[in-house]
Amino acid sequence: MKKTLALAGLICLTAACGGPAATTKAPDPAKLTLVDQTAKATGALESAVWLLDEEPGTLDLDADGGTPNRTVMANVCERLMQTQPDMTVKPWLAEKVEQPDPKTMVLDLRTDATFHDGTPITADDVVWSLKRHAGEGMDESDEFEDVASVTKTGDAQVTIAFKKPNALFVQALAGGAGIVLNQKVIDAQGKDYGTPGNDDACSGPYRLKEWKSGSELTIERYDAYWNKDVKPLTKSVTFKWADETALVNSLTTGAAQGAYLSDTGPAVALQANPAVSVTYGPTTRVFVLLPTDKGVMKDPKIRRALSLAIDRAGIAKSGFAGVARPWKVPVGAGAWSYEKAAFQSAYDQLQGAPDSPRIEEAKKLVQEAGSPKEPIVVATNGEQSRTVIANAVVDAATKIGLTAEIKTVPAAEFGSFYTDKALRAQVDLVPDDWYITKSDPIGFYDNGLTGSSNNWVGFSSPDYDQLVAKALETTDDAQRAKDVIELQRRFTADMVWISLVEVPSAVVLGGKVTGPPASQVFMGYPWAADLGAKG
């Protein structure tokens, strides 16, 4: 499942923005260091308070897989596969995964895993869980579109048959589509499952202890956890929800011990504070410009020219206070969970999205396109990041012989660009951020398919479409990487979207704690099991 992430108040550096003033110089984007995990914890911790943007609406991830819900339940519910802090994927509740042919996947299950009520996890539970996830209206149902059947084929074995090969399904099993649930518990709770006052139906290193609606939610270490190699140091984690100001204050005063940040504003405000540490990790999230076919942006030469002229390093510093880095492709390096060297090499060779402007090259493309006079209209919702991007577009256009103007759209309406063609017809460029939940770039490039709902500029290439289909069916990693790299080259050569900056995952920790991953993995990996006191 791919996601867009709307950011409210992405950068807020002064108290007038609703938070404490930042007292630190912005980091140099070129020197931004990303790590998979914070320093290993060695000491026990009786309890910790962890902050969320908002209270979960439900703990049933089939009903709603929102970020706060996932952040909590990643510690409670386990998957057949598990994404690691370095974004690679390995077997988990499924001890072994084999594909005897491209349309068949065989899962051999662990025989020692148990749910929190002590009952063993069986093949029947897996079959039931996968069918529940696939149900109409369920949050992960789109992951099962290529699945023909899910069948118990042994006491500890499940076989999945596909209508056509699906290279991403292993990744899906590391996400919400691979959670194994206790049918007995869910049947007993019925529609109340996932609401305050009810037990979880899972098997992770933590179990749900108490949810005080409107106040806090607590998970506690499950000391009878089946995997004795996992030894959580923190006995309980209490989740509270806070706006940006309260989050910063709680972390600096020690009232809270940590948070994963959806906005970079608190990171900037906190990174110079000796009471806390801010660590940045790999992500798939990138800010981009989505062009429309309204006017001059439908010409790929103009899109390429604008991309060459944009000051990405300036955007990273001014729009994101240095907590971002110039980026050439529309999906972050956190997606490179396999064949990483090949993806990095191909990325390094791309020339169409430089950190600093190449004005003369851009001017030549504009001239080749006939030097159009129609102004480019770029949208913003008034937030600093998008306004900085919009101003950078105006500046770039002016320098290469084009004109551009900014149209401010109410923040509440900004997401409507994806669904409202009439609104989209009023602008040429929409700055927004995107991330994918899988660590494989092929999960993004279907956005360039002919007729894709997110292909607003009307890019159409039968060869591209065929290559997407081939890559999605290629289960050999090396070959799929070659196909994806070629899709990346074609997508960026035509500038179907114009990539700007990669925004990292960020975790902030109180001075006495450490351990959890810094990467985007926190939405599916039991990060609290790594949390503990510094030695």
Residue whose tokens read 């959580």: 232
**What DSSP designation does 36 have?**
S
CATH 3.90.1150.10 fits 286-502, yes or no: no
Contacts of 453 (CB under 8 A, 6+ apart): 418
* Backbone region of residue 137 per phi and psi (left: phi > 0; alpha: psi in -120 to 50; beta: other values): left
The per-residue pLDDT for 30 is: 63
Give the tokens for residue 381.
Answer: 């919702």
Three-state DSSP class for residue 396: helix
Under a CB-based contact definition with an 8 Å cutoff, are residues 402 and 372 in contact? yes
Q: What is the DSSP string of 431-471?
A: EEEEEESSSSGGGTGGGGSTT-TT-TT----HHHHHHHHHH
Under a CB-based contact definition with an 8 Å cutoff, are residues 196 and 212 in contact? yes
The per-residue pLDDT for 1 is: 43
Contacts of 471 (CB under 8 A, 6+ apart): 167, 442, 445, 480, 483, 484, 487
Task: Report how far residue 457's alpha carbon sits from residue 36's, in angstroms, rounded to the nearest whole number.
Answer: 36
**What DSSP designation does 114 have?**
B
User: Exposed, middle or buried, 372 (CB in 10 Å: 0-12/13-18/19+)?
Assistant: middle
> Cα 490 from chain centroid?
23
Under a CB-based contact definition with an 8 Å cutoff, are residues 18 and 394 in contact? no
Domain ranges of the chain: 2-77+185-282+505-533, 81-180, 286-502
Q: CATH for 81-180? A: 3.90.76.10
Q: What is the mean pLDDT of each run of 10 residues along the chain (535 residues)?
A: 37 30 54 91 97 96 94 98 95 97 97 98 98 96 95 98 95 96 97 97 98 97 97 98 92 96 83 92 96 97 98 94 94 95 98 98 98 97 94 98 97 93 97 92 96 96 98 95 98 98 95 96 96 93
Count CA atoms closer than 13 A to 349's CA, side-chain side.
Answer: 11
Task: Report how far residue 16's alpha carbon sits from residue 11's, in angstroms, rounded to the nearest whole number.
Answer: 12
Under a CB-based contact definition with an 8 Å cutoff, are residues 309 and 357 in contact? yes
Q: CA 78, 82, 84, 90 torsion: positive or negative?
A: positive
The per-residue pLDDT for 265 is: 77
Q: CA 116, 514, 271, 238 torsion: positive or negative?
A: positive
The per-residue pLDDT for 224 is: 97
Q: Which fold has domain 2-77+185-282+505-533?
A: D-Maltodextrin-Binding Protein; domain 2 (3.40.190)
Query: Phi and psi of 258, rounded to 5°?
Result: -175, 170
Give the tokens for residue 87.
Answer: 């974004």
The per-residue pLDDT for 12 is: 32
Neighbours of 503 (CB within 10 A): 27
Query: Side chain identity at 231, as an amino acid letter?
Result: K
Q: What is the DSSP string of 245-306?
A: HHHHHHHHHTS--EEEESSSHHHHHHTT-TTEEEEEE----EEEEEE-SSSGGGSHHHHHHH
Task: Report how far residue 395's alpha carbon sits from residue 388's, in angstroms, rounded to the nearest whole number.
Answer: 10
Q: CA 328, 329, 331, 337 torsion: positive or negative?
A: negative
